[in-house]
Amino acid sequence: MSAGRQRLDKWLWFARFARTRSMAARLVSDGHVRVNGIRADAPAKAIHCGDVLTVAAPHGTMLVRVLDLGEHRGGAPEAQRLYEPVGEAAS
């Protein structure tokens, strides 16, 4: 990926929406992730800072704005700096 964008599955893993990268890829493949309101069709979809993601993970549905692209999977406080909640997502 070029600078300023990152694979969706990798970002979901860095941001701790999934325990493993393969689980993050499965979230996308199974249709549980939307990018800017459009269902993501591939784990390799490029995302950018400012994109709004709807993630219907097993632990709940979240609507978040991407603030930063991660460089590695860190702890929960580091992961939470990658996004901000935008509001309530429809269940």
Give residue-wise pLDDT tens across range 40-74.
Answer: 999 999 999 999 999 997 778 999 999 999 899 99
Domain count, the chain: 1
Kindly report, residue by residue over 10-51, the tens digit of the pLDDT: 999 999 999 999 999 999 999 999 999 999 999 999 999 999
Stated pTM of the model: 0.89
25: domain range? 6-87
Query: Looking at residue 39, which CATH number applies to its domain?
Result: 3.10.290.10
**1 domain-assigned:** no
**76 domain-assigned:** yes
**63 domain-assigned:** yes
Instruction: Determine the Cα–Cα distance for residues 13 and 53; give it in Å rounded to an integer.
Output: 14
**27 domain-assigned:** yes
